[in-house]
Structure 1
Amino acid sequence: MIKNILIISSNFTGHGHKSITESLREIFEKHNDINVHVVDGFSLGGTTLLKIGKSYGPITRSSENLWQLIWNVSSIRPALVNEFIELIIKDNFLQLLKDINPDLILSVHPNFNGSVINILENHKIKIPFITLIADLVSIYPLWADPRADYIISPTQEAKDKCVEYGVSEENIKVLGFPVRSKFYRDIQDSQEPINYNADIPLKCLIMSGGEGVGNMRKIAEILLDNFNCTVSIVAGRNTRLRNKLEQSLVERYGDKVKIYGFMENIQDLMLSSDIAFTRGSPNVMMEAIACNLPLVITGALPGQEEENPEFAEKYKLGVVCENIKNIQDTISDLLANNAEKLNQIRSSQRSYSNPNVAKNIVDFILSLD
């Protein structure tokens, strides 16, 4: 009987792992007999590993080339990454197991799959271990350790990648990408088409994941100079970017533009917007889709996000515009014929979106008694 569940997540490598964990906890909390303990995997490695985890934001904000190098090296030698993390977290992890005595371990971060399984095997500890992949298409080999009892995949594409890495199809469950319930727009409201009227401002939202990367200022200028619109920009944890945007845009465009930092209630902005501009962050994409908010994807981090723009276009969840010079033409095309293409995206998102993903994942986990 599964009563105690340990979730290994991350608080500092973007916000997606934490958001996924919260979406599952919402459902677990409905089961009064289930105890869930969440730990930041990087905290198990003390100061050294926490510094590595916290470096994700600065690196992805300022040096995509360095991030790609880290990704490539880790992908070539995943066993070395596992052994390094195993060595650093072993003592604290074993103590954690003694303290909470989990009946099942769920990992939502790639760095704590093979490393934790190594520790369990080396100490002959038998606890079911499940991996929940937090990326959509371009997954790390670290996600796909064939020794996991099950791997929960958000997409068929990620499942196919796991099979390439040597995971048995029988051990992979495609259950979708879990999103917190507060992001799901009332389906009745979302079915109303956007009737674009040049006299009514188009509500634009520009964001780029929790770390706030991307050329937000230029996108905002193109929108404000060429369309009747308002622009909300979420700079995430990037305080320096937020200050620069406030200085360059608010003075010029006044109340047509608003700049925000990291937000716990980002769903309010998503639900009140007509269109969103973002990089291919899987969590941001899936939350926008849950809000039935059409996407214009302006780029992607190398590595885990590389194929996400193509994924969005494949399922007609948004359009890709990686060259900022084409933003004006892209938006004009979406708004043509009374926003016909914008409304087609909204319709495709409603067909794709599934508000029961988190529940289905929890139900599957609890069925493993």
Structure 2
Amino acid sequence: MIGAFLYVDAGKGHYVPAKALAESMEKRGHKALVEDMFLACNSPFWAFYCKREWRFMLRHPKIEGIYHRAHDTKLIAALFRFLSTHMHLKKDFLAWYNLNTPDFIVCTNFLGANVITPIVQKLRLEIPVFSYAADAFNNPTAGFNKRLDLMYIPTFLGRDLLIKKGHPEDRVKVCPFPLKSSIQNLKVLSKQEARRLLNLKEMFTILLNFGGEGIGNTEFVYEVARRGLPWQVVVVGKLTAFTKKRFAFFQKQYPDFSLHTPGFIDNIGEYIYACDVQAGKAGANALMESMALARPFLVSDLLFAARDTTTFLNRYQVGWCENKTAKQVDILQQFYGDKEEQDQMKKRFSALPLRFNSDAFMDDIYEEVEKWKTARTSPSAQIG
């Protein structure tokens, strides 16, 4: 079987699940294609635009909120469907399809529902197209398409919100979150074991995750240092030259502060196990990896696309959302001093209605592909 996993290069949140599912396929002996959706349609301009637009919005969250709220409509969804079938994308996608002959397509960006689905249906290609809601708790309205074969989302909260938007109930399915293999196969570590492994001190530890885009600043560590809190802060993710200089300057001002800046790392799971709380922007991968490894998450930059993260964290009380630095430290200072709340937090993680397993997700996809094929070959379908 050949599976195609099409992402859009607008942050790692779309690429990582595509890669995780592809790896699951390949280890079972199947072939998996992981490609930029717009490059598969021979549209490098739109690939470039999505990449640059998202990186700009990450650095200007106020503009992001206004811009994406204004464009997140069913009218925009209809416009995408029209343009995808009236531009060169249709012809070039057909060439890509004939070259690769996949058995199914999974789009891990919301645009796929209104770009790939209408193209496939217009060309009458015999292949199911599934969409995965990478935001985990909802999917943009601009990705609304009733004719999509199936929408996968890893939370019940997200499923309910999609159905309220008008998605057919029988075409929305809760799935396991597709953890990347480095997290899924990671040996369980205690905080003490992880800290010894990473040469960290045995003290209350905050993991600041700047992500692959390097979104973050030094305000948090300054606030912690000014309050004299006996904490350890570890900063992971991309660090620009300017950000490195700012952290170096901070360390000169506070030489006794336990600050570690390993930057971009490939063993994030070990760092999550070593921390008491992870903090950063509301990227679904970072957040859900924290949930999988039972560490609370403080969302420090809530973007429009991730707004329903607040509902999830408030409902299950496994984290917080707060944009202002001083209030972030207030929240964590209270958590640090409340041992009973820390114990209750551990219990709440065990009750989360979430599953984390790329292999189980792929099992479900295989099953849905077979259902799709059976439906197409049934006598009633042939008569129709």
Tell me the TM-score normalized by structure 1: 0.86
Give the superposition deviation at 1:109. Answer: 0.7
Residue identity over aligned pairs, in percent, reads 19
Counterpart selection for 1:270 from 272, 280, 290 = 272
Task: After superposing the two structures, state which structure 1 stretch, 286-295 or 180-189, moved more.
Answer: 180-189
Deviates more, 1:47-56 or 1:69-78: 69-78
Change (3 A) 1:212 1:250: same
Letter in 1 for 2:64: W
Deviation of residue 182 (structure 1)? 2.5
**Is residue 163 from structure 1 mapped to residue 163 from structure 2 by the alignment?**
yes
The one of 32, 35, 39 aligned to 2:35: 39
Q: C-alpha separation between the residues in 1 aligned to 2:366 and 2:349?
A: 29
**Unmatched 5+ stretches in structure 1:** 193-198
Output aligned runs, 1:158-237, within 5 Å. Answer: 158-184=158-184, 186=187, 189=190, 200-214=202-216, 216-225=217-226, 226-236=228-238
Name the residue aligned to 1:79.
Answer: 78
1:204 Cα offset (Å): 1.5
Change (3 A) 1:281 1:188: closer
Task: Give 2:135's aligned amino acid.
Answer: D
Show the counterpart of 2:376.
none
Change (3 A) 1:298 1:154: same
- Out of 47, 53, 57, the residue aligned to residue 50 of structure 2 is 53
What's 2:295 paired with?
Answer: 293
Distance 1:284 1:131 in 2: 21
Q: Distance in 1 between matches of 2:266 and 2:68?
A: 29
Q: Deviations over 1:246-274 (max 9, x none)?
A: 34323333472122443333223222222
In the alignment, residue 39 of structure 1 is paired with which amino acid?
E
The residue that corresponds to 1:343 in the other structure is 343
Match of 2:306, SS? coil
Supply the AA of the counterpart residue of 2:272: M
**Mean Cα displacement is larger for which, 358-367 or 133-142?**
133-142
Are the equivalent residues in 1 in contact too, given 2:205–2:233 (CA < 8 A)? yes
Mapped contact 2:108–2:131 kept (Cα < 8 A): yes
Partner of 2:63: 66
SS at match of 2:337: helix
* Cα RMSD for the two superposed structures: 2.7
Asked whether the equivalents of residues 179 and 358 of structure 1 are also in contact (C-alpha less than 8 Å), the reply is yes
The corresponding residue for 1:5 is: 3
Contact 1:231 1:257 in 2 (8 A): yes
Give 1:72 shift: 2.7
Indicate the residue corresponding to 1:195 in structure 2. none
The question of whether the paired residues in 2 share the 8 Å contact of 1:208 and 1:235 is answered with yes
Alignment of 1:302-341 (within 5 A): 303-337=304-338, 339-341=339-341
Residue 210 of structure 1, CA deviation: 2.7
CA 1:162–1:138 in structure 2 vs 1: closer, same or farther (change >3 Å)?
closer
Counterpart CA distance in 2 for 1:328 and 1:43 is: 43
Structure 1 distance, partners of 2:365, 2:192, is: 33
Equivalent AA in structure 1 for residue 231 of structure 2: C
Give 1:133-144 correspondences, 5 Å limit.
Answer: 133-144=133-144
Shift in CA distance, 191/164, structure 1 to aligned 2, threshold 3 Å: farther
Change (3 A) 1:188 1:352: farther
The offset of 1:350, in angstroms, is 3.5
CA distance in 2: counterparts of 1:56 and 1:269, whole angstroms: 30
Q: Structure 1, residues 186-217: CA drift from partner, whole Å, max 9, x if none? A: 5584799xxxxxx9532221124332324x31
Given the superposition, is the C-alpha separation of residues 321 and 120 from structure 1 closer, same or farther in structure 2, using an over 3 Å criterion?
A: closer
With over 3 angstroms needed to count, the CA separation of the structure-2 counterparts of 1:85 and 1:207, relative to structure 1, is farther
Is the partner of 1:97 in helix, strand or coil? helix
Whether the aligned pair in 2 keeps the contact of 1:60 and 1:213 (CA below 8 Å) is no
Cα distance, 1:354 vs. partner?
5.2
1:325-351 deviation line (CA, Å, top 9, x unaligned): 2234322321224x3223322332233
Contact 2:177–2:355 (Cα < 8 Å) also in 1: no
Contact 1:222 1:327 in 2 (8 A): no
Measured after TM superposition, the shift of residue 80 of structure 1 is 1.4
What's the TM-score, normalizing by structure 2? 0.83
1:131: how far off? 0.9
Change (3 A) 1:37 1:350: same
SS of aligned partner of 1:211? coil
User: CA separation of 1:174/1:112 partners in 2, compared to 1, >3 Å: closer, same or farther?
Assistant: same
| Separation in structure 1 between the aligned mates of residue 236 and residue 115 of structure 2, nearest angstrom | 35
C-alpha separation between the residues in 1 aligned to 2:254 and 2:353? Answer: 35
CA offset digits 1:43-85 (Å, max 9, x no partner): 2343311221221443123322332344234322222133345
Cα distance in 2 between the residues matched to 1:207 and 1:133: 22
Aligned counterpart, 2:101 = 101
Amino acid at match of 1:22: K
Question: Contact conserved, 2:22 with 2:33, CA < 8 A, in 1?
Answer: no
Q: Aligned match of 2:19 in 12, 22, 31?
A: 22
Runs of 4+ in 1 over 4 A off after TM superposition: 184-188, 353-356
The one-character-per-residue Cα deviations of 1:106-165 (angstroms, maximum 9, x if unpaired) are 111111221111111222212111111111334212333221111111112222232233
